[in-house]
Amino acid sequence: MFAYPAGYGDMLIGVTASLAAWQLARPSRQRAFIAWQVLGLADLVNAVATGTLSGLLEPHGVPMLPMTVLPLSLVPTFLVPLFFIFHVICIAQARGWRGSFESDIRSARPLGHPAV
């Protein structure tokens, strides 16, 4: 993995969320959306690894003790796993776009024709 200053990956993924939503409207852009989701997963893994190893890398730096007390303890114990699961669900749903989109087009009736 490449190294970047802490926090920039989170901002990059957050700023590109609207772009990913725009990609969501196009089944032909399935791979771009899945790639964006994989980047989000990598960012979560990087954030957890950085937080876990920060005490070892810089012993006299900012302590991680506040992350062990509510409400901050909800971030590593609840929110990170929840967002990880959301990314996995998005990838699983996006993998099925192509087939469902093509079947919807085949079963669609032309506009202006009544149902028989």
Distance CA 70, CA 113 (A): 60
Q: What is the pLDDT of residue 70?
A: 92
Distance CA 64, CA 78 (A): 17
DSSP helix, strand, coil percent of the chain (3-state; round to 5)? 70, 0, 30
| pTM metric for this prediction | 0.68
Residue 4 has pLDDT above 70, yes or no: no
DSSP state of 44: H
pLDDT band of residue 20 (cuts 50, 70, 90) is: confident
Beta-carbon contacts of residue 12 (< 8 Å; ≥ 6 apart): 43
Specify the residue for token string 């900012």.
Answer: 62
Higher pLDDT, 3 or 83: 83
- pLDDT digit string, tens, across residues 41-84: 998 898 888 888 887 888 888 788 888 899 988 988 999 999 99
Q: What is the pLDDT of residue 64?
A: 81
Q: What is the pLDDT of residue 1?
A: 44
Distance CA 110, CA 22 (A): 26
Distance CA 77, CA 93 (A): 25
Q: Tell me the HSE value of 39 on the side-chain side, using a 13 A CA sphere.
A: 18
- pLDDT digit string, tens, across residues 78-107: 999 999 999 999 899 888 876 555 555 555
